[in-house]
Structure 1
Amino acid sequence: MIHTSIHTVDNPAEPSELAVAIRIGQYMLDQYGTVDTADVFAYAQAHGGLAESLRILLRALGAAPTAEQQAAPRCPAAHPDDPTPCDGPLVVTVLDATNAGADGCEHHGARLLASIDGGRVYAPAGAAIRVFKAAGTIRPFAWVDRGERA
């Protein structure tokens, strides 16, 4: 007679980091693979979710990006002396009185608009209104003289 024994495992092995990263990537792509680009909030949320899932996948593969690679480039509307980060994708164009302009995120678009005379903002309706209203509450060159950092 042959005796066999069956071993049950009460704690199955944890999935590998790569398996988890793959599942997260698949989930995020399913959730955010297509986004209505007219919805700025949904677009920004999708960008953040997909960027984070890519970072998780790269870390699981042992290829995590360096700090330099992770530093996000700033939008053209951001003043070089303004230390604040962008708050999303390029969604507005701010023009001055001579029609010179810069594309930017809503945050830097509002700060630029507040800092120029005779400026105009062009964007999808919701973003343009938000930037115009925000610019009305910001003093020109808000980052100067106050040591502002965020």
Structure 2
Amino acid sequence: MSCTNTPTPAAADLAVAVQIARRMLAAYGDSQVDGFDYPAAYGAVSEALRILVRAVDGETDAEKGSALVRIPGGDERCPAAHPEDPSPCVGPVAVTVLDAANAGLNGCEHHGARLLASLEGGRVYALPDAPEGAAIRTFKAADTTRPFPWINGPRLRPGQLSRAENRARGEQL
């Protein structure tokens, strides 16, 4: 009987997943991430976690047909929902929101609009199985939504107002 050090496929997958998770933590593990870097950081950490879960558990919720993310407390929300945003998802995951660097997240129309409103140079695309008009509804909702709408307090500067409010005031960002 010969003894080899060849790892099992599951162990090899776990080793790769841990290596990727370490890289993602090194790049995005700082809690002081700029708000405009948030989508890239969230996407990277989500991907690292998905790989880890698949390596350990063999299957992720997305592979089981759910595009929702489980959060502590048992709630499920789309990946585009900001952790500090208390609002629930509205409808199915239907759009992808991309930032200026092409980092993106899938989300329901509601959270997609809130994310798009919080980005400079963001774009929205409907997913293949999205309801008709999902991207345009998300785009229009983002136009009248203030950036980071869950943050309370006075909003007086153009960067704190919705694009529609800035147009009405005649201001350019």
Smaller-chain TM-score bracket = 0.3 to 0.5
Report the TM-score, using the length of structure 2 for normalisation.
0.42
Select the structure with the greater relative contact order (CA < 8 A; seq sep ≥ 6).
1
